Amino acid sequence: MITMPSWRRVLPSLPVLQWGRAYNREALVSDGVAALIVTIMLIPQSLAYAMLAGLPPEVGLYASVAPLLLYAVFGTSRVLAVGPVAVVSLMTAAAIGHHAPAGTPEYWAVAITLAFLSGLLLLSMGLLRLGFLANFLSHPVISGFISASGILIAASQLRTLMGVSAEGHNFLDLSLSLMSQLGQVHVLTLAIGAATVAFLFWVRSGLKPLLQRLGMKPRAADVVAKTGPVAAIAVTTLLTWALDWQVQGVKIVGAVPQGLPPFTLPLWDLGLWQALLVPALLISVVGFVESVSVGQTLAAKRRQRIEPDQELVALGSSNLSAALTGGFPVTGGFARSVVNFDAGAQTPAAGVFTAAGITLASLFLTPALYYLPQATLAATIVVAVLSLVDFSILRKTWNYAKSDFSAVVATLVATLTVGVETGLIVGVGVSLALYLYRTSRPHMAEVGLVVGTEHFRNVQRHAVAVSPRVLSLRVDESLYFANSRALEDRINSAVASRHGLGHVILQCSAINDIDASALESLEAIDLRLRGAGVRLHLSEVKGPVMDRLRKTEFLNGLSGQVFLSHYQAIFELAPEVIA
């Protein structure tokens, strides 16, 4: 028998082969149109986010080519557009700002190394199927982190909009620095930036309805509205060139090198890798969570699905390719992916066409960017990131769960006052601490029979029938080391106050797991109850939990029985309740 080579077993699972086999002319046309729209949107975004990361603007274009090609091969989302995004760019700047001055070749080399390390981590997590780790980032923490990051990014761009040189690594320091520079604001730069911001906000909300009132079809109006940043760049660049605004002190982008993305390698410095490990991990996790969230949302609209572990492989490959082509960390972007979806993209081939468009722009359009005011790019960033700020999460979590509200506030405050990396770590730490605190004090309800049914409910909420000889206790949490003592205390207290008690039944319908510490507690409870003449019983134990209990001596030494249902337990131990 001939053994199939391993590569033949791997290749059929590649997503590119799955959608590639059914590719047709209709998909080609749809992908081409979507790619044109996304390319127009992506060029100014890429330039802006590179500058946000402290890198030359052309690096944003480099980071928007190879990652799109690699994602088309390995990614499972049909419409996700991979490239530089605001939050990851901010995290990149925060991670490498201490290792080299922004804008220098050394700084760029560290950014390439960060992308390479992030790619290795993502790829390793994907191969080890560790996509579940992203679940430790709760929605309130992510929402608080992204909102705080949006505020930080917008604040960091005010210095460019104002034409001053304010410094600061957190919101407080940056605000104080900006206030101290108010007397040195460059009026013309501020006018360009403010006008661009106002125009872009109007384009987002007012241009499409206006075009539709003028008779343009909705889809065409939507496409035109999304070209707003390109129009702003074109107009301000032409005005700067024609009126010599750069001579009057307006900072411009300057010469942007033409050509294909270069071949680059990371720095092979073990000390640098160790210093970048935690930032790279945080960037990887945040990028993965953002990418998967967007991918799943858009896939659900077309009744498609994505594979999180395969997405890790795709994003890892994309970041490795970014590192090898002069880029910096990338992920799936919300805005460009939604545009890609709305524009009708059918497959990741749209990303391939977009990469081709970005390549052509790198080859032929970069000279036209020489007179582009930096304030215009700053304005596009401000308008883009302010849409990420969502303070409604504060009201929602306050009304629903104070613990989630605490996590959001902790993340917001730490991100704004200390930094993005610390803010994220604080948010995750607070969430985990609150979870441990909450589960260490599990809800335990004494239950009784709802007369005329086989249902059992909390005696404090419903009119139910109970027996003084039986304590029915429902534990609404898995049992583990942090809450096993609470269960012991609750049962000890109940037994001490009920002198006629003969049976304790633990209703286990909400218990999904019992760890070794909790098992020892159950053994201790049983031993203590036996000494008091009380038997311990279990009811409605789930299959996986029972499988583990059968591997121990606990069931053999249990003073009572294990009942399939709680109704059966009451029927045998206190039949008068049912009668």
Domain boundaries, the chain: 10-185+252-374, 444-578
Give the model's pLDDT for residue 114: 97
Contact indicator for 394, 140 with CB cutoff of 8 Å: no
Check pLDDT > 70 for residue 530: yes
Compare 330 and 229 and report the one with higher pLDDT.
Answer: 330
Q: What is the Cα–Cα distance from 178 to 191, expressed in whole angstroms?
A: 17
Indicate the pairing of strand 331-332 with strand 82-83: antiparallel
Check pLDDT > 50 for residue 535: yes
Contact indicator for 554, 523 with CB cutoff of 8 Å: yes
Sequence-ordered alpha helix ranges (H) in 481-536: 484-496, 516-531
The residue type found at 144 is G
HSE, CB side, 13 Å, CA atoms: give it for residue 377: 32
Nearest alpha carbon to residue 409 among 145, 73, 163: 145
Indicate the pairing of strand 444-449 with strand 331-332: unpaired
- The DSSP H or E segment spanning 503 is strand 503-507
Mean pLDDT of 128-138: 79
Give the number of residues written for the chain. Answer: 579
Q: What is the Cα–Cα distance from 333 to 316, expressed in whole angstroms?
A: 15
Classified as helix, coil or strand, 532 is: coil
% of the chain surpassing 90 pLDDT: 52
Residue reference for tokens 């304010």: 166
- Print the SS3 string covering 168-234: CCCHHHHHHHHHHCHHHCCHHHHHHHHHHHHHHHHHHHHHHHHHHHCCCCHHHHHHHHHCHHHHHHH
pLDDT tens-digit readout, 172-220: 888 888 898 888 999 999 999 999 999 988 988 888 788 888 888 877 7
Range scoring the smallest mean pLDDT among 10-14, 64-68, 464-468: 10-14
Give the model's pLDDT for residue 86: 87
Determine phi and psi for 129, rounding to 5 degrees. Answer: 55, 50
pLDDT tens-digit readout, 270-285: 999 999 999 999 999 8
Indicate the pairing of strand 331-332 with strand 562-563: unpaired
Give the model's pLDDT for residue 13: 67
Classified as helix, coil or strand, 405 is: helix
In DSSP terms, which residues pair with 82 in a beta bridge?
332
Cβ-Cβ contacts under 8 Å for 431 (sequence gap 6 or more):
136, 138, 140, 141, 407
Compare 456 and 136 and report the one with higher pLDDT.
Answer: 456
Contact indicator for 348, 28 with CB cutoff of 8 Å: no
pLDDT tens-digit readout, 261-272: 999 999 999 999
**Residue 340 — very low, low, confident or very high, per pLDDT cuts 50/70/90?**
confident
DSSP code at position 559:
S
Give the model's pLDDT for residue 9: 43
Mean pLDDT of 541-556: 94
The percent helix, strand, coil of the chain (3-state, each to 5) is 65, 5, 30
> The whole model's pTM is what?
0.79
Nearest alpha carbon to residue 539 among 514, 571, 516, 561: 561
Q: What is the second-level CATH architecture of the domain 444-578?
A: 2-Layer Sandwich (3.30)
- Cα first-last separation, the chain: 69
Classified as helix, coil or strand, 561 is: coil
